[in-house]
Amino acid sequence: MYNVAIIGAGPAGIFAALEIVNLKPEWKVVLIDKGPRIEKRTCPLREGSPKCTNCKRCGLLCGWGGAGAFSDGKLTLTPDVGGHLVDYVSRKHAEDLIGYADELYLKYGATDEVFGTDIKVYEELAHQAMLAELKLVYSPVRHLGTERSLDVLKNMQDFLDERITILNNVSAQTLIVENEQVKGIKLDNGDIISAQYTIIAPGREGADWLTHEFAQHKIGMVNNAVDVGVRVELPAPVFEPITSKLYESKLIYHSPTFGDEVRTFCMNPNGEVVQENYSGIATVNGHSYANYKTPNTNFALLVSEKFTEPFKEPIQYGQHIARLANMVGGGILVQRFGDLLDGRRSTPERIKNSIITPTLSCATPGDLSLVIPYRQMISIIEMLQALDKIAPGTASRYTLLYGIEVKFYSARVKLTNELETEGVRNLFAIGDGAGVTRGLLQASASGVYVARNICARG
């Protein structure tokens, strides 16, 4: 019997555990994750395999630290980016939670350096963006780098190891609910975890399970926008005038043809493009390091579509498009922007003759227009052309587009302002998988917030 059971050892789950230990050190807490400890997480592709081996549980996504463990560790220090905390608390409260979570990252080894704090520089760049019909969001960023991010997470793991129960390599199979109150969790190994409070923090990797499980217990869900797009890779000097000042630029555009919102996401100066595996579906992402630099910069362009009734399957929609890309390319597709505009597929020879060397060598040259729906494709093209006005060279014929990038946080749970589920008492949902957040720092802050709410109940 535990006071609190937490499903998911990503930033949301970890920070919930840290705050409970801080406030109620006498409480018994169990943290469950279907992946391994941080030091045992591996990825054959990152370690020299010529292609993804489709591990049963992707080492880049599952395990201590969640999907953010092998990301480049960008902590966005504003509630305007990375989630929806302000839908549940006041802006001031959200800022305080983010600041508190940021201090914890510093305590466990994060770097002191923050990019993008110069208001004058931001205003100058925002003015340039406005002339190109782009909106630049003010978003100071603390950048850890992938290797430093792993060290910080290891320090957190070591601290909690001595204070709570951590179960690795086991999955939550189903929730135990009686009389509209959560009683615990049944694990895939048959064990039963009994707990007074349960926190669901499965991250994007567990969003599909969360949606299915909550439907079983008639817990309300609402459709978030579906985010589907590509990862763009280009020479680092193209965006250097911006990244040297802001590190990451959050730019929003509304395409003239369809009016869809397109945004930049997860910008990685001098970084590399990587492949991830969501339950057998190959998707693309990007990383950058503190001490290792490539000649390229990459970032995602995501098109947000908000569906109405009777559509109820946002995650499956994104999975379908990603599977189609996998079918066409045997994994990740890559195409030169010029080839896309000319209506022809990219070939290995055309990629070889480009000025850019792809950092994801296992991507298959192909034709993204066979995969990405027309509406999203037109919006991506128009966004690239708008970005070219503030970063000349973005719309170069050599710019590489990798597909598909899709974010599986589309299922959003109906929650109270304390992040407790509507209809099932003592059950809380936080982080990206619950649709509450979409970034490391807000996910961490949501963990702190829900831990405080639970501890206040005693």
pLDDT of residue 305: 82
Percent of the chain past pLDDT 70, that is, above it, reads 98
Does pLDDT of 234 surpass 80? yes
pLDDT of residue 351: 96
Does pLDDT of 242 surpass 80? yes
pLDDT of residue 204: 77
pLDDT of residue 315: 76
Instruction: Return the higher-pLDDT residue of 321 and 289.
Output: 321
Report pLDDT digits (tens) over 336-351.
Answer: 999 999 999 999 999 9
Report pLDDT digits (tens) over 28-80.
Answer: 999 999 999 999 988 777 777 767 777 777 877 889 998 877 777 889 999 99
pLDDT of residue 206: 85
Q: Which of 91-100, 114-123, 231-240, 272-281 has the lowest mean pLDDT?
A: 272-281
Report pLDDT digits (tens) over 390-443.
Answer: 999 999 999 999 999 987 655 688 999 999 999 899 999 999 888 899 889 999
pLDDT of residue 349: 97
Q: Where in the chain is the domain with CATH 3.50.50.60?
A: 2-116+140-222+412-457
Q: What is the mean pLDDT of residues 5-21?
A: 97
> What is the 3-class SS of the chain, one letter each residue?
CEEEEEECCCHHHHHHHHHHHHHCCCCCEEEECCCCCHHHCCCCCCCCCCCCCCCCCCCCCCCCCHHHCCCCCEEECCCCCCECHHHCCCHHHHHHHHHHHHHHHHHCCCCCCEECCCHHHHHHHHHHHHHCCCEEECCCEEECCHHHHHHHHHHHHHHHHCCCEEECCCCEEEEEEECCEEEEEEECCCCEEEEEEEEECCCHHHHHHHHHHHHHCCCCEEECCEEEEEEEEEEHHHHHHHHHHHCCCEEEEECCCCCCEEEEEEEECCCEEEEEEECCEEEEEEECCCCCCCCEEEEEEEEEECCCCCCCCHHHHHHHHHHHHHHHHCCCEEEEHHHHHHCCCCCHHHHHCCCCCCCCCCCEECCHHHCCCHHHHHHHHHHHHHHHHHCCCCCCCCCEEEEEEEECCCEEECECCCCEECCCECEEECCHHHCCECCHHHHHHHHHHHHHHHHHHC
Does pLDDT of 449 surpass 70? yes
Q: Which of 126-135, 141-150, 444-453 has the lowest mean pLDDT?
A: 141-150
pLDDT of residue 455: 98
Report pLDDT digits (tens) over 183-213.
Answer: 999 999 999 999 999 999 988 788 888 988 9
Instruction: Return the higher-pLDDT residue of 275 and 307.
Output: 275
pLDDT of residue 224: 67
Q: What is the mean pLDDT of residues 277-303?
A: 90
Report pLDDT digits (tens) over 70-109.
Answer: 777 889 999 999 899 999 999 999 999 999 999 999 999 9
Percent of the chain past pLDDT 90, that is, above it, reads 74
Does pLDDT of 445 surpass 70? yes
CATH class, domain 2-116+140-222+412-457, is alpha beta
Does pLDDT of 178 surpass 90? yes
Q: How much is the pTM? A: 0.88
Q: Which of 265-269, 382-386, 388-392 has the lowest mean pLDDT?
A: 265-269
